[in-house]
Amino acid sequence: MAFESFLQTQPRAAFEQALGGLDQPQSRFFRPRFNQIYNRFLAELPNQPTLQFSDFLESPTDTGPAPLSRGRFLGFSPFLRGERQNILTPRARFLNF
């Protein structure tokens, strides 16, 4: 019970706890976006005054999927998701016949 009340009073702690359930590329993608997600929560708060930040992170919103959902993550381009070619991945080669 004490941990739940701590998460309710510390939004950054609730955010980090929610990121713990995601795989590494997703958590790397969402971690720098804490302020954007928290501002969306604050904008939603007048409409739903009893909404907790931890509940907001896991529930779908009117504007789309949940803020930390895989669908939102996959909606971005591979470059924005942090998927970049490096020296070890070969480039695509095309053969013209």
How long a stretch of residues is the chain?
97
Mean pLDDT computed over 65-80? 80
Mean pLDDT computed over 66-94? 74
CB burial class (10 A; 0-12, 13-18, 19+) of residue 53? buried
Domain ranges of the chain: 2-74
Mean pLDDT computed over 75-80? 82
Residue 97: the pLDDT is 61
The better pLDDT of the pair 82, 97 is held by: 82
Residue type, 75: G
d(CA 81, CA 6): 31
Average pLDDT along the chain: 81
